[in-house]
């Protein structure tokens, strides 16, 4: 009886250790956050593009959105929020990655990258201004929460699919998958069902809690 108890405790221990190791291995590397000219910028983004839960989506031809949400709190409890967005779409015909990135400065950075390696390099070198630091006081370290969410398709692709499905169900006799979806707004029960069920959801999210030393003013 006593021997059995030890065995169970040992098995639990092994299981917990394995899970902890897996979690540690799964955690992506944290990005770098620094303050430049009263703006909090994120750079050296974690190499999530090559992760198995992300990479297959990059190759589908759909627009994968990487959404950065950043919240900073200073020592006095003042808060500031912001974010940025990166869209990646693999153009299947030309076999290039079309990317665009936008921070709180509103500037859109567009690139056409011919390979996945180039994409990884571009991602690594990306430097996005994400939070204006004006509301934050200078004293003490700031706690910065960075959340990177991956959304597998864009809003226009979502709308296109909703309309296409509504047309396919309501007017199946048309029978041409190449026919353009209708342009009019979606109405009715079926449309409401489609509109509320086909919607963009986070595929996966990564969170990092970072500490930043503010610049002296």
Using CB under 8 A as the binding rule, the residues of this chain from 18 to 77 that contact another protein are: 60-62
Task: Calculate the dihedral angle through the C-alpha atoms of 49, 54, 55, 56, rounding to the nearest 10 degrees.
Answer: -170
Q: Which of 31, 83, 103, 152 binds another protein (CB under 8 A)?
A: 152
Q: Is 141 in the site for another protein (CB under 8 A)?
A: no
Q: Is 149 in the site for another protein (CB under 8 A)?
A: no
Spatial separation of the C-alpha atoms in residues 28 and 30, rounded to whole Å: 6
Joined together, the tokens standing for residue 102 give: 């936008």
Q: Is 158 in the site for another protein (CB under 8 A)?
A: yes
- Nearest in space to 34 (alpha carbons), one of 137, 140, 131: 131
Q: Which stretch binds another protein (CB under 8 A): 14-22, 112-120, 139-147, 192-200?
A: 192-200
Q: Is 102 in the site for another protein (CB under 8 A)?
A: no
The stretches of the chain forming alpha helices (DSSP H) are 2-26, 55-58, 116-124, 155-170, 188-197
Q: Is 7 helix (H, G, I), strand (E, B) or coil?
A: helix
Spatial separation of the C-alpha atoms in residues 71 and 49, rounded to whole Å: 23
* Choice between 20 and 187, CB closer to another protein: 187
* Choice between 176 and 184, CB closer to another protein: 176
Q: Applying CB under 8 A, what is the total number of residues that bind another protein?
A: 24
Q: Is 167 in the site for another protein (CB under 8 A)?
A: no
Spatial separation of the C-alpha atoms in residues 84 and 122, rounded to whole Å: 16
The residues that touch another protein, with contacts defined as CB under 8 A, are: 60-62, 92-93, 152-153, 157-158, 160-161, 164-165, 177-178, 189, 193-194, 196-199, 201, 203
């Amino acid at each position: 009886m006593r021997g059995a108890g030890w065995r169970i405790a040992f098995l639990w221990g092994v299981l917990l250790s394995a899970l902890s190791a897996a979690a540690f291995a799964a955690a992506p590397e944290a990005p770098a956050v620094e303050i430049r000219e009263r703006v909090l910028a994120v750079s050296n983004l974690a190499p999530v593009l090559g992760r198995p839960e992300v990479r297959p989506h990059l190759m589908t031809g759909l627009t994968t959105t990487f959404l950065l949400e950043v919240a900073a709190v200073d020592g006095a409890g003042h808060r500031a929020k912001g974010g940025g967005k990166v869209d990646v779409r693999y153009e299947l015909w030309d076999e290039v990655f079309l990317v665009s990135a936008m921070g709180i400065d509103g500037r859109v950075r567009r690139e056409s990258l011919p390979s996945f390696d180039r994409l990884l390099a571009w991602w690594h070198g990306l430097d996005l201004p994400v939070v204006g630091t004006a509301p934050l006081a200078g004293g003490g370290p700031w706690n910065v929460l960075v959340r990177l969410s991956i959304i597998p398709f864009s809003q226009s692709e979502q709308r296109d699919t909703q309309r296409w499905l509504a047309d396919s169900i309501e007017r199946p006799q048309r029978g041409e998958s190449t026919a353009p979806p209708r342009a009019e707004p979606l109405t009715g029960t079926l449309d409401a069902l489609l509109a509320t069920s086909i919607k963009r959801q986070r595929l996966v999210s990564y969170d990092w809690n970072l500490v930043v030393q503010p610049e002296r003013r």
